[in-house]
Amino acid sequence: MYLKLFVSKDCPRCPAAKEAVRASGGRVEIYDIDEAEGLAEAAFYGVLCTPSLLVVDEQGNEIRGWRCEVPHPRDIASFLN
């Protein structure tokens, strides 16, 4: 499993979300929804706000998601182990 983090340039909570992801120790892909690729990926997963973090399996299926919030690194890590 790995993480998909959706951020935007003007998001005040996105730096905290990036730090939470780093602290969790998981593999992460970061998508900026201000860019075409990030917006397309967000649309695919139904992400409407930032920060949003998804735990996905190797096939890209969503296992757990936190939308519009910053989860605690321990909560993220519990889905990765």
pLDDT digits (tens, 9 = 90+) for 17-59: 999 999 988 899 999 999 999 999 999 999 999 999 999 999 9
Whether the pLDDT of residue 81 is over 80: the answer is no
Alpha helices, DSSP H, located in the chain: 14-24, 36-45, 73-80
Q: State in words which class domain 2-80 has.
A: alpha beta
What strands, in cross-sheet order, belong to the sheet with 52-56? 28-32, 2-7, 52-56, 62-67
Residue 12 banded pLDDT, cuts 50, 70, 90: very high
Reported pTM: 0.94
Domain ranges (residues) in the chain = 2-80
Question: What local confidence, expressed as pLDDT, does residue 80 receive?
Answer: 84
Nearby residues of 40 by Cβ (< 8 Å), 6 or more positions away: none
